[in-house]
Structure 1
Amino acid sequence: MDLVDRGAELSIMENMLGSCVAGHGGVLLVSGAVVTGKTALLRAFGERAVAVGALFLQATASEAERDLPLGVMGQLLLGADLPAAGAQRAARLLDLVTVTAPARPAGGGLPAVVRNAIPQLCGIVLEKSRERPVVIGIDDVHHADTYSLECVQYLARRLDAARILVLLGENSGFPTGNRRLHVELLRLPGCRNIRLGPLRRRGVAEMVSAYGRSGWRSCPPVPDLHRLGGGNPLLTRALLEDHRASAAGAAGRSLPPVPGDSFEQAVTTCLYRSDVSARRTAWALAVLGPQASRTELVAEVLGISREAARRGLSALTETGLLSTGWFRHEAGRSATLKSMDPAHRARLEARAAQVLHEHGEAATAVVRHLILAEPVDAPWALPTLLEAAERALDDDEVDLALACLRFARDTCADGQRSPAIRAAMTRAGWRVNPATAAQHLPELTTAALEGRLGPRHTEELVGHLLWFGHVDRALDVLGAVERSRAPGRTEGGGRYGPDDIRRWMVHGFPGFTGPVRVRTGRAEPRDPVPARTTRQRAANLMRAVLDGAGEDAVAGAEQILQGTRLDDHTVTALVVALNALVLTDRLDRASFWCEALAREAAARRAPMWQALLASVRARIDLRLGRLAAAAESARSALALVPPEGWGVAVAGPVATVVHAETAMGRLDEAAGRLGVPVPDPAFHTPDGLLLLRARGFHHLAAGRPYAALDDFLRCGYLMARWGCDLPALVPWRTDAAQGHLALGDTARARALAEEQLAMVGPGRAWTRGVSLRVLAGTLDPLHRLPLLEEAAEILRERGHRLELARVKDDLARAHRELGERGRARSLARRAQQLARECGVPAPRVAAAVGALPAGRPEPSGTPRQGHVELSDAELRVATLAARGHTNRQIADKLFITVSTVEQHLTRAYRKLAVQRRADLAGKLIPGGAPDGAGGPCGSACDQLNAV
């Protein structure tokens, strides 16, 4: 690349060359920071000198050859175009000095052999200058050996009458190794010193222009390039190379420069061409991070004086790497760290950690160095790691907390502290994915049973064991805690004691045999104990909901949500409060609080919290009839934390996604979700009931009413056994009634619906609306209307749009059967609109309700649909089912099993694009559907109740 922004310096050099040609030699000392263009300047001037007929002798000093006697003079003379005799004489003198002279003079005096050789070697150059001008260029003269510098001074003292120009390139960032050279040279009349500074913006613009002439179609803005490169030609050139690589497709656009591989290599070059003290200063600065803006920290880490540290920082600033004491770009710091030997960096990190600790820096700042350091055998190291992990978790820096704890675990030699470290690791890992933290549970359980785990960690351990359904192990831990507690001793050190945990387990795991009691062995009192903690308030709230408390439960839930900050210990209680609002049908309030908490969980980067709240959001959306949103939220919950990390709670999101997919007619997708592994203990929890219910509706939609009834009745059995037959949770009687209707058993369906209504009572609960609709399906059209109208009013008020669509559909059918076709059409259109808004497919929209009067046959020319698609066996089964026969009756008539009937019906449903038995009539039997057939949203609506 051509020289840029060096016109003034070249003018000075050309003037001195002119004087040299005229017979007046001189010395020019070119100083500047590392890689600021000194070498390029010397070479460019050497080419000009050769062009005017001068002899150009050049050499580059090296730190590796600093102890080679006359090493620089050897480069100058042996590489010159000298006569054979002169070359041989120079070689003999150089060999003699190399063999006999010490690397450096002792006591300041030159050895005799050197004193004799210098005049002879310099005489060769002086003789050559009589023939033509001689230009001597020595780059990196600060690395030159002592004897060569003596030769330079010898020549400099004889330049008045010699045509010799000596050019010396020096890195100003190096402490001067031979100050006498400077003193001797600068006092000579023919000696000048010029200092190369960083490129000005105009110089950077010239570089950009030169690159533009090479065919680039996109160049970075000059101000950005000047700022990032600091005016350093090497760094600026590297930024241009990186820009060319990264902006190949940005034709015509001026993109800002982005440091890349070339820039990283350029930074490394700058460091290793700098003085070792400047290089170490850069390393210390990069290791310390932003705290290194305090010079005293850099000095202490390096073990040097503050003045030396300031000089190093000044040299780095002059180079262009730093600005106001810090790297111009993070890429500069990254490249500096990569340039270090790993072992040296580990030592430097350890020293940085110690210095920061002594200066009272925060534990989180100290451990960032401890983690990367060689082992630090200091009493403060382990407590600092544990403190930093706690603070990092409070600040939502989970990755840092886990890194601290892993390092503490790997370096801790204190067996007593090991359980506490693993407990902390479990707590931190739980926020991301409980599955990764479960590996510590066996060791923690052993420590708890042996009394080596503190109260707080024991409480957390019990919660973790329950999460994965290890109820027996949790009870063992509680028993050990109780046995170790002295009589009369009050509980302390934890958020709640064994009795509180047991009360929580009563509601969280009601399905385990031998109901969990408090430690006294007596049944839990009817009145909840006074709540001291959020967890206790949540346990009391759960009991209030199960006892049917309405407004009191809502008030309790709102108190928890308003007065509790989201953290690892309260997230479960907050979820309980949200579910309480859902169960008490306060869906608007539940939605508001769930959204607020979900935003906070996302901002704090806590996947487990986000997943739990997404699961609640899905449950709310399902009840509101937002089927697509419910399925998406449930899938999101299972994506944020994989199923194996959910433990027994996986039943919740799986139930919701299965329910929603089934309602939308996506039976295959729902069946796939039913394949998600769910631990057996999950079916001893309330979420397990929801999964049984969702599976039952999937069976019903797939034409397996007997399997559906099994699941619905199983829910009823479990709820009765647990003593929490709560319709708001699972209205299993209404669900089972729909199964009996699918089998044609109207009497049993009516009995179950009436029983459910009696339990719900005369209030405005959504379960009353659903029960009224199902009961109406067992009655004649005239008696259906009052029940359906009351159900519609309740469901509209509560916001259950999907159930409202089903009620509107049933009302349309009732009015059609009563001959009120206009009213039927209006209601049918409204039912279809609601169904579409909920996401329910409506494959039979064209067959509008009321198109034909009830019982009137279709015109004889209308073909029966679907016969060509069905096999003979499927057609026989589907025809009998359309005429109202139950699966058992069909099996008896055709001499096949009930299972075979269900399989034929499933295939027939798919081929005819229907999803319930009543819809078969419109496809197979002339005259349309039998009494009670579904309308436009019946394909999925008839299989769904809200959770």
Structure 2
Amino acid sequence: MNLVERGDEFSIMESMLGSCAGGHGGVLLVSGPVASGKTALLRAFGARATAAGALYLQATASEAESDLTLGVMGQLLLGAGLLGADARRARRLQGLTTAAAQPECAGALSAAAMNEIPELCGIVLEKARESTVVIGIDDAHHADSASLECLLYLARRLDVSRILVLLGENSGFLARNTRLRVDLLRLPGCRNIRLGPLQRQGVAEMISVFGEPGWRTRKLVSQLHQMGGGSPLLTRALIEDHHTSATARGADTDLVPGEAFVQAVATGLYRSDIATRRTAWALAVAGPDVSLAELVEVLGGTRESLHRSLRALNDAGLLDAGWFRHEAGRAAVLRSMDPADRGRLETRFARVLHEHGAAATVVVRHLMAAGKVDAPDAPWAVRTLIEAADRALADDDVELALSRLRVARDSRTDTRQTLEIRAALTRAAWRVNPAGVAQHLPELTAAALDGRLGTRYADELVGHLLWFGHVERALDVLRAAERRGEPFGQPRPGAPHRHDCPRRWMAYAYPGLPVSARACLGDDAEPGTLEHAAPEHAPSRARSPHQRAATLMKALLAGADGQDGEVIGLAEQILQSTRLDDSTLTALLMALNALVLADRLDTAAFWCETLRREAAERRAPMWQALLASAKARIELRTGALTAAEESARSALTLVPADGWGVAVASPLATSVYVKTVLGRLDEAAAHLSVAVPDPAFQTPDGLLHLRARGHYYLAAGRPYAALDDFLTCGDLMTRWEFDLPALVPWRTDAAEAHLSLGEQDRARALAEEQLALVGRGYRWVRAATLRVLAATLSAAHRPPLLAEAIEILRERGHRLELVRATEESARTQRELGKSGQARALARKAQELAAECGMPVPRAPAADTGGPLPAQQPWSSGHRRHPEELSNAELRVATLAVRGHTNRQIADKLCITISTVEQHLTRAYRKLAVQRRADLAAKLSPFTDRGGREGPATHDACDRMHVG
């Protein structure tokens, strides 16, 4: 057996063996820290003694058998190969030992066993007359008292016998029998040697024995010595881990403790006494900053006991100056713990640290590790967890906040604390995905109605109920608070302001509230007036973001627009002075929307991107999603279709549709509109299939969704369905006193639907009404209305209107609408016979369309550029009159001009591809053309009593032949 750095000790043992053979016995006490090599040394010497002809009697004491009378002595004698009377006496001893293990007779039998000591020791003395006897007892500190008395009996007679006693003792244990040491060490011939830690040379030697010779680098030796602390057990385990790592990654890899090291630490701990083991656990749980006083209180012992255990752990190589030599050592100690034991120790530490006034962040770390606490016995624990979760949320660490709240939730709490935990979970989870919030709302609502929920949480509850469209329940919570006389939403004196009274902004988030609900909200919530806004002379610090947002919305509803500096000033004041958080996000979004409605797209885009980046940096998916949706709307207005499509997709990816509540209408509306403009009607239809909660159609986002669906219907050749959606928007906005053309220009949209039906008079009336309403304000709406109004007039009367529209749109950056106005102008010039100007305008329209990401320029007939219905009137100013085509042929030809494939046409009209081909063939023959591109010239627009023009196409149209 290979012994490393134990040559001197082995030489002492050999010398004592030689003396013993000459008739002078002795006792050698080999002491040292746990796993210092005592066992290996005893075994090696046992083999040496046996080879020299000595009788080697070996026993290993165990803590589990420390109360077993004469248990160690029994091991020695039963392994001595006794015969005859000696064997019978040994068997009688074995029976006596077994009986002594029974609790009911242990006392009497132990006394009897003590009387047998002279006879038992006589057996050993007789053996010593025959040959040298070497007795090796490992872990002697666990030996039972009776066996130790036998050893003392023999030790007093060693000077006249050939008996050598070797005792291996863990110096970290308190001696069970201090008299043994005292009596042994004062006898002649008795010696004590202590095994120390391995030195660097010993570590290098161990590498040669157990590792690869080529590993003996100075760096590796240094790392092994530092991490293993000179412990043979730990050093060998580290060598095994390095062998595994080097096999996988190469010999030059750094030393990384692995599973062998973890197992070695666990072995060392469980071979130590319970006090040392518990100290190691407590130290690993506490961390490096724990004080001795706190450790003593947690362990429930004394300072002397703690110091002894710390010395034992230092000697064992696990610690250095009272702390772990390597973090892997601490991790291994933690892994050695039973989870239940660790939970109790973590809870104990949390309590002690709390009582010692430690920081909440330190206390909560132990509560988190404990997993749950018995809150009725420790109400401070749940309170600490909730407060720590609030701090984590304020630091934008949502996952940490949620994990702390889950520990609080899983603890045994009273009803009040349970409600508080649920409310806090709701607040934190909303920032990630509100879908996880819905499960808590019924219980919180019931508590709020019963007056069991604090005002702060009830305030937040109203916002969450509105998010999911539970308007009546939100109003019930408001009414319940009023009945109790609570100042709803108002902070306590000296407390931080978290939110405004929901009354102040609820009417603007839900302009479609029923009359009964508006009555509940009171006069201060009525939209359209400025009387109840916060006083303008009030200091700005006294006006919260939501109060300013309410003033801003009232200004818009009162008729302010982009020409009025009030809207811009109020919006930028909010955006510049408000920090993004859960309670201000609504106000910031309202300010962004106000800039969009005021036609300040560049300013809105800047602030939206600034806020979006901040939300991403602060890891708040819900914030990012809402701002991505706002960004998509801005990009749609500027004509950045690809970017708008990506932003809308990002919004619904960050938070799935089921987490959006009523707000899902906004990103869906943008997606539907963009897909429609791009001619991808199937994808638009897929977005329309996503369910939108009914209460969403009491909100501005619901109006956007209705408008987007209307344009989809218009593009799909369903003008009556489109008209119904546009008029529904108008009916709702009028009834709500929320008629904002900059949000939804429903009159202009409805006029386009009427034009697609050939109802020019109705279209003109709506366009003129819209124009009179916006006047010189709402520039984007005015431009779009001028374009539609021009389409109801004869060609000679259109240029001035289109010129003004184009000028406005260029100035404001509305490229998508500019494409339509430019195309309309090109067509007008073509009808007036100015082909050069028409071609120039057509090329400009194509360039603008390409900038917008459109595959081909869209025809100006419909707002979304979709195909026209079959009932459109046609011009008679060409060689062959289009009315010679049947309605079915006209429908197919119109879709073909639009660039649809035969399969797409078949799908849209619910006919077969063969039927499409037949209709196109007949249309080609009747119109005397050979290809699709030629159809455009035959189906050019005309003016009938100043009426609506038919569809026009461009050179970019699909040139595929039928079949």
Query: SS at the partner of 1:169?
Result: strand
* Aligned pairs (5 A) from 1:520-669: 521=523, 525-530=529-534, 532-547=543-558, 548-550=560-562, 551-669=565-683
Partners of 2:465 and 2:421 in 1: how far apart? 18
Instruction: Judge conservation of contact 2:612–2:628 (CA < 8 Å) in 1.
Output: yes
Change (3 A) 1:433 1:927: closer
Partners of 2:162 and 2:930 in 1: how far apart? 114
Instruction: Judge conservation of contact 1:204–1:225 (CA < 8 Å) in 2.
Output: no
Change (3 A) 1:67 1:608: same
* Aligned pairs (5 A) from 1:68-107: 68-80=68-80, 87-93=87-93, 95=95
Q: CA offsets, 1:525-570, max 9 Å, x none?
A: 4344216322212222222233334432222222222222333322
Q: Compute the TM-score of the two structures, normalised by the length of structure 2.
A: 0.78
Aligned equivalent of 2:926:
none
1:273 to 271, 274, 284: 271
Counterpart residue type for residue 467 of structure 1 = W
Aligned equivalent of 2:867:
none
Shift in Å at residue 9 of structure 1? Answer: 0.9
Partners of 1:32 and 1:923 in 2: how far apart? 99
1:295 to 292, 296, 299: 292
1:311 to 308, 312, 322: 308
Counterpart residue type for residue 546 of structure 2 = R
Q: Do residues 59 (structure 1) and 78 (structure 2) align?
A: no
Shift in Å at residue 143 of structure 1? Answer: 1.1
* Aligned pairs (5 A) from 1:436-515: 436-485=436-485, 500-514=501-515
Shift in Å at residue 465 of structure 1? Answer: 2.2
Change (3 A) 1:140 1:638: farther
Change (3 A) 1:184 1:805: farther
Counterpart residue type for residue 745 of structure 2 = P
Moved more, 344-353 or 152-161: 152-161
Instruction: Judge conservation of contact 1:423–1:444 (CA < 8 Å) in 2.
Output: yes
Query: SS at the partner of 2:266?
Result: helix
Shift in Å at residue 738 of structure 1? Answer: 4.0
Aligned equivalent of 1:285:
283
Aligned equivalent of 1:708:
722
2:124 to 119, 122, 125: 122
Q: CA offsets, 1:477-507, max 9 Å, x none?
A: 33333344399x9996799999953331221
Query: SS at the partner of 1:925?
Result: helix
Q: Do residues 933 (structure 1) and 952 (structure 2) align?
A: yes
Aligned equivalent of 2:195:
195
Q: CA offsets, 1:35-56, max 9 Å, x none?
A: 3444344445545555666554
Shift in Å at residue 466 of structure 1? Answer: 1.7
Change (3 A) 1:8 1:388: closer
Q: Do residues 678 (structure 1) and 692 (structure 2) align?
A: yes
Instruction: Judge conservation of contact 1:32–1:172 (CA < 8 Å) in 2.
Output: yes
Partners of 1:38 and 1:255 in 2: how far apart? 30
Q: Do residues 8 (structure 1) and 35 (structure 2) align?
A: no
Partners of 2:681 and 2:222 in 1: how far apart? 61
Partners of 2:43 and 2:876 in 1: how far apart? 106
Counterpart residue type for residue 303 of structure 1 = G
Counterpart residue type for residue 650 of structure 1 = V
2:733 to 719, 723, 728: 719
When the two chains are superposed, the root-mean-square deviation of aligned CA atoms in Å is 5.0
Change (3 A) 1:138 1:476: same
Shift in Å at residue 609 of structure 1? Answer: 2.7
Instruction: Judge conservation of contact 2:669–2:704 (CA < 8 Å) in 1.
Output: yes
Instruction: Judge conservation of contact 1:842–1:936 (CA < 8 Å) in 2.
Output: no
Partners of 1:241 and 1:758 in 2: how far apart? 88
Q: CA offsets, 1:144-175, max 9 Å, x none?
A: 22233344455556667876654433323222
Query: SS at the partner of 2:377?
Result: coil
Q: CA offsets, 1:848-897, max 9 Å, x none?
A: xxxxxx99999xxxxxxxxxxxxx9975631366799xxxxxxxxxxxxx
Partners of 1:446 and 1:101 in 2: how far apart? 63
Query: SS at the partner of 1:168?
Result: strand
Change (3 A) 1:832 1:141: farther
Query: SS at the partner of 1:682?
Result: helix
Partners of 2:361 and 2:792 in 1: how far apart? 68
Q: Compute the TM-score of the two structures, normalised by the length of structure 1.
A: 0.79
Instruction: Judge conservation of contact 1:456–1:495 (CA < 8 Å) in 2.
Output: no
Moved more, 302-311 or 72-81: 72-81
Shift in Å at residue 683 of structure 1? Answer: 0.5
Moved more, 649-658 or 370-379: 370-379
Moved more, 799-808 or 168-177: 799-808
Q: CA offsets, 1:779-803, max 9 Å, x none?
A: 6777766655655554444444444
Change (3 A) 1:170 1:544: farther
Aligned equivalent of 1:34:
34
Partners of 2:201 and 2:791 in 1: how far apart? 85
Instruction: Judge conservation of contact 2:790–2:801 (CA < 8 Å) in 1.
Output: yes
Counterpart residue type for residue 605 of structure 2 = S
Change (3 A) 1:121 1:399: farther
Change (3 A) 1:691 1:111: same
Partners of 1:557 and 1:906 in 2: how far apart? 54
Partners of 1:710 and 1:197 in 2: how far apart? 90
Change (3 A) 1:474 1:347: same
Counterpart residue type for residue 351 of structure 2 = Q
Shift in Å at residue 687 of structure 1? Answer: 0.6
Partners of 1:424 and 1:667 in 2: how far apart? 43
Instruction: Judge conservation of contact 1:86–1:124 (CA < 8 Å) in 2.
Output: no
Change (3 A) 1:776 1:37: farther
Instruction: Judge conservation of contact 1:401–1:428 (CA < 8 Å) in 2.
Output: yes
Query: SS at the partner of 1:516?
Result: helix
Partners of 1:258 and 1:665 in 2: how far apart? 61
Partners of 1:801 and 1:381 in 2: how far apart? 59
Partners of 1:19 and 1:413 in 2: how far apart? 68
Partners of 2:202 and 2:918 in 1: how far apart? 77
Change (3 A) 1:730 1:71: same
Shift in Å at residue 64 of structure 1? Answer: 0.6
Instruction: Judge conservation of contact 2:624–2:651 (CA < 8 Å) in 1.
Output: yes
Moved more, 272-281 or 83-92: 83-92
Instruction: Judge conservation of contact 2:500–2:544 (CA < 8 Å) in 1.
Output: no
Shift in Å at residue 690 of structure 1? Answer: 1.3
Partners of 2:913 and 2:638 in 1: how far apart? 29
Instruction: Judge conservation of contact 1:922–1:929 (CA < 8 Å) in 2.
Output: no
Shift in Å at residue 116 of structure 1? Answer: 0.8
Partners of 1:198 and 1:582 in 2: how far apart? 76
Change (3 A) 1:381 1:908: farther
Partners of 2:914 and 2:317 in 1: how far apart? 76
Query: SS at the partner of 1:8?
Result: coil
Moved more, 388-397 or 639-648: 388-397
2:348 to 351, 369, 372: 351
